[in-house]
Amino acid sequence: MNSWIGDEMAEETKQFKNTPELYVRELHWRIALHREYGAYFKKNDELLGLADRMRKKLHKREVGDISRVTLHYLFAKSRDTYQSIQILCKTGFGRDALILVRSLLENLITILYMFQNKEKTEERITEWIQCDLRERKILLDTIERQSSDFFKIKRKWLRKKREIRKSYEQLPEKIKKKQGWVNKGYEQLAREVGLKEEYIYYRTLSSLAHSTSASAKGYMRIDKNRVVIQAGPGRKSIPDALVFSHRYFLMILDQVNSVFDLDEKENIAEHKRLYSIGGKDCQL
């Protein structure tokens, strides 16, 4: 039998003997990971189910103001990011899942800051949209200066040129001069919404997102003066990705439930109780 799998697992998948090895390898990992982290996968899938119930409730609501429309979008985006994290974990790619955990945390910080103060919510969201329109204009100018077709991206953007420039001209002067949506940066935003410690974790995840030298040891090692590449599925980082993605997505659902009054407070509280680091129901 292959050295990287046990005899029992090999027996379970021997029916795939004529299947490409890469597929069989993935199947073995799915089985092994489900045995090891099955309780976590189950709880994360249940949270995804809660999110979809909330989504169906939102389908029956009227559109509402700009703040609610924006939260609809950030909720939908976070939901798909969360599911993508689960898929990566179930196939043994925990380190790549952590990159998406970082994105999920960014969404959480953004949502909490937007809705932190009801009197400032509309102003903050309006500026968030306006700053994006400004960035589109800056990107359009950059694309126009490219001599190549730039994989057809240039033609796509040039078709929108008139619309982008018209939107830009209507922006307030203060927005045109801003360097970003908020001048504070994510570190200060995290502090303001009570996620100071989470931002420290966000910074550690940045080393994975930006492929720094600090993350190199997870992908290679030196053995007898030779480089051994450690690529492919494995167990590394899966517990962190599962626990923290659940934590952040649950906080997003809590905010969505609060803003839209979806009557899911008890279910959200139940998820908080059942699933915790070192909790009796899901313990690594």
Q: What pLDDT digit, counting tens, does each position of 221-264 carry?
A: 888 888 888 777 888 889 999 999 999 999 999 999 999 999 99
> Shortest CA distance to 157 belongs to which of 184, 106, 165?
165
Buried b (16+ CB within 10 A) or exposed e, 221-244: eeeeeeeeeeeebbebbbbbbbbb
CA distance 239 to 87: 14
pLDDT band at 274 (very low <50, low <70, confident <90, very high): low
> Shortest CA distance to 156 belongs to which of 168, 144, 171?
144
pLDDT digits (tens, 9 = 90+) for 77-129: 999 999 999 999 999 999 999 999 999 999 999 999 999 999 999 999 999 99
Contacts of 85 (CB under 8 A, 6+ apart): 97, 100, 101, 104, 241, 242, 245
pLDDT at res. 23: 62
> Shortest CA distance to 114 belongs to which of 249, 206, 252?
252
Separation in Å, CA 153 to CA 33, 135, 145, 150:
40, 16, 13, 6
Q: From the CB of residue 154, how many other CB atoms can be counted at a distance below 10 Å?
A: 17
pLDDT digits (tens, 9 = 90+) for 153-180: 777 777 888 899 999 999 999 998 887 7
pLDDT exceeds 70 at position 66: yes
pLDDT at res. 185: 83
Separation in Å, CA 120 to CA 19, 89, 117, 215, 269:
58, 38, 5, 39, 28
Q: What is the largest CA-CA distance in the chain?
A: 69
